Amino acid sequence: MDKAQWNEWLVYLLNRPLAYGLLELSRRLGEVVYVPRVGYVISDAEIALDVLMDTEHFDSHSPGSLGFLVTQALGPYALLNMDGPEHKDLKRRLQEVFSSKYIKALIGSATNDIVDEFRGNLLAGRVVDVVEFMKDFSSRMACELIGVRVDPHNERGAYADMFALATEFTALAGLGKRSLSDSDLKNAKRIVERLSAHIRESYEDKDIRDESLTQHMRSCGFTFEEAKGVVIIVMIGATELITYGMPRVLTLLVDSRQIGKLRARPELLERAVDEGFRLVTPSNVVLRAVVADCQIRGHHFRKGRRALIVFNNIMKQEKHFPHATRFDIERAIDPRFRRLPFGAGAHTCLGTGLAIAEARKVLAALLSVEGEYEILSRRYNRGQTYPGYSSLLIRVRWPRLP
Ligand code: HEM
């Protein structure tokens, strides 16, 4: 095991040792393993694709799916918990807000200032916490996309509050949880009320007429109640995954000593991002409810149970990714699986383009600072929803001015 592999292993082990052990054991036992009270653990890329594309036998709203918990917390209109023509129609309308041209403009206006500050600190040889930076970066971007206006006198505080709310919300779900308890529901209601307060202002502000998500939904005729669930799901998707994913991609680059190679060969940036997401799989598990008995590539799935698509197992499968645990920025990933960490089929991630644009922007800023990257300390996200670092302190030694 090299240093990069060892640290990635620690990220999982120290996050939720029991869950990690169970999923890792399932991977070793086979492509699909049924674990009582948990469900079918899927560790094969082709089977995962088949399941994600098959909406006849697997759905995202029945008991057992994540959507079922989302419905309890947010009501039935929240995209992630919808299926069929209504979901398709809503997604088509939302895609206008996620066009690559709009995202490009937005990412510049929302994050140029803080990226310049981050870069300036690195150039000056200061110690920087990459996780703190990513929290601010992703929350700003999410608020800009959604149209949330924050108090200009306390921008950082407002973004930190949004991030904390998103974290509390995702913590309500768990691998073994099939429904939210009364106390979970009380918590969910409190979080949703606070997030809704931020959203309502931008939805109702008659002076704003921009292309933000809230205004777009309003102009499409969605009521506030309809818009609310969708916007909160976007807010949740837009914050934690990229925040905890990117510092891990950076540590892979530093620990494997490939950051110099990437700096010398910037044409590898796209491959480096894909390879980073392949190993990091920020969204580790997606759930589906099995709603009809079926057979997939020789594996039987029984109605009433659930299926867990475990990206960390899938994206490290030797069959499809030779020397799978090795981080290699020159790796050419099979196009069928390149974007699999963002899901597939009807529920494919709405923010894929945005997440990739964000990753490129952060990596480009890091690469533009010459010098040797030093990782001073890493604190692991123990017991939290997403594996990763709760803090990652870095510094650049002997930076040269550009
Ligand atoms: C590295 C970052 C990200 C990863 C790895 C990721 C991964 C995923 C995955 C795997 C799904 C599919 C869930 C399922 O099939 O049940 C998903 C759905 C979704 N993601 Fe992301 N995501 C990321 C970033 C984002 C961002 C930046 C946004 C919004 C700005 C976003 C918004 C959404 C939404 C709204 C859905 C639900 C789509 C639907 O149900 O049709 N995600 N994401």
Q: Which of 370, 373, 365, 392 is nearest to 381 (CA)?
A: 392
- Mean pLDDT for the stretch of residues 82-90: 95
Atom of ligand 1 at shortest distance to CA of 94? 35
pLDDT at 390 > cutoff 90: yes
Closest residue CA from atom 6 of ligand 1? 342
- Please report the pLDDT score of residue 220 as a whole number: 87
Q: Residue 208: inside a domain, yes or no?
A: yes
**pLDDT value of position 271:** 97
Strand partners, 285: 310
Residue 188 and residue 169 in contact, taking contact as beta carbons nearer than 8 Å: yes
Residue 331: CB atoms within 10 A of its CB come to 17
Q: Distance of CA 167 to CAs 139, 270, 278, Å? A: 12, 29, 23
> Residues 162, 191: contact at Cβ < 8 Å?
no
CA–centroid distance, residue 283 to ligand 1 (Å): 8
Give the pLDDT confidence score for residue 97 in this predicted structure: 85
Query: Tell me, what CATH number does 390's domain have?
Result: 1.10.630.10
Q: What is the mean pLDDT of residues 4-18?
A: 95
pLDDT at 149: 82
What is the CB neighbour count within 10 angstroms for residue 115? 20
Which residue range forms the structural domain that includes residue 182?
A: 3-397
- Please, which pLDDT band fits residue 314 given cuts at 50, 70 and 90? very high
Q: Which of 309, 341, 304, 401 is nearest to 32 (CA)?
A: 309
Q: Is the pLDDT at 399 greater than 70, yes or no?
A: no
Relative to beta strand 294-296, strand 299-301 is antiparallel
Q: To the nearest whole number, what is the mean pLDDT of the chain?
A: 93
Q: In the 8-state DSSP scheme, what is residue 34?
A: E
pLDDT band (50, 70, 90) for residue 341:
very high
Cα–ligand 1 centroid distance for 237 (angstroms): 5
Q: Whole-angstrom Cα distance, residue 107 to residue 92?
A: 22
- pLDDT of 176: 73
What's residue 400's pLDDT?
54
Given ligand 1 and candidates 68, 111, 216, 349, which is best to mutate, with the most ligand atoms within 8 Å of its CB? 349
Distances from the Cα of 300 to the Cα of 42, 175, 177, 296, 305, angstroms: 12, 21, 23, 7, 11
Query: Do 26 and 35 form a contact (C-beta atoms < 8 A)?
Result: yes
Using the atom order of ligand 1, give the atom closest to the CA of residue 348.
12
State which ligand 1 atom lies nearest to the alpha carbon of 287: 16
Tens of pLDDT, residues 136-165 = 999 999 999 998 888 888 888 888 888 999
Q: What is the pLDDT of residue 116?
A: 97
Give per-residue burial for 209-244: e unless 16+ CB within 10 Å, then b.
Answer: eeebbbbbbbeeebeeebbbbbbbbbbbbbbbbbbb
Q: Determine the angle formed by the axes of helices 352-367 and 100-123, rounding to 10 degrees.
A: 30
* Gap from CA of 206 to ligand 1 centroid (Å): 30
- Separation of CA 342 and ligand 1 centre (Å): 6
Q: Which residues contact 336 (CB under 8 A, 6 or more apart)?
A: 45, 49
The confidence score (pLDDT) of residue 59 equals: 97
Averaged pLDDT, 313-322 = 96
Helix (H, G, I), strand (E, B) or coil at 11: helix
Q: How far apart are the first and last CA of the chain?
A: 36
- Measured from CB, residues less than 6 Å from any atom of ligand 1 are 60, 79-80, 91, 145, 233-234, 237-238, 241-242, 245, 282-283, 286, 341-343, 347, 349-351, 354-355
303 alpha carbon to ligand 1 midpoint, in Å?
A: 26
Determine the distance separating the centroid of ligand 1 and the alpha carbon of 80, expressed in angstroms.
Answer: 9
Over range 23-38, report the average pLDDT. 96
Q: What is the pLDDT of residues 202-256, one digit of tens each?
A: 888 877 667 889 988 988 889 998 899 999 999 999 999 999 999 999 999 999 9
Q: How many angstroms does the Cα of residue 354 sit away from the middle of ligand 1? A: 10
Cα 187 to middle of ligand 1, angstroms: 23
What distance in angstroms lies between residue 402's CA and the mean position of ligand 1's atoms? 37
Count the helix, strand and coil residues of the chain and give each as a percent rounded to the nearest 5.
55, 10, 30
Give the strand order in the sheet containing 32-35: 32-35, 39-42, 306-310, 285-290, 58-59
- In the prediction, which pLDDT does 401 show? 55
Q: Are 179 and 172 in contact (CB under 8 A)?
A: no
pLDDT, residue 402, reads 53
Say how many C-beta atoms besides its own lie within 10 A of residue 275's C-beta.
25
Is residue 359 a part of any domain in this protein?
A: yes
Using alpha carbons only, how large is the chain's radius of gyration in Å?
21
Atom of ligand 1 nearest to the CA of 87: 41
- Asked whether the predicted pLDDT for residue 344 surpasses 90, the reply is yes
Q: How far apart are CA 259 and CA 365, in angstroms?
A: 12
91 Cα nearest atom in ligand 1: 41
Kindly give the number of the ligand 1 atom that is closest to the alpha carbon of 311.
10
Q: Quote the pTM value.
A: 0.95
So what's the pLDDT on residue 138? 96
How far apart CA 164 and CA 340 sit, in angstroms, is 28
Q: What is the mean pLDDT of residues 41-59?
A: 98
- 177-212 confidence digits (pLDDT tens): 889 999 999 999 999 999 898 888 888 887 766 788
Number of domains in the chain: 1
CB 224 within 8 A of CB 200: yes
**Which residue in the block uniquely carries the two structure tokens 């998707």?**
237
Domain contains 402: no
Query: Which single residue is written with the structure tokens 């140029």?
Result: 112
Share of the chain above pLDDT 90, in %: 80
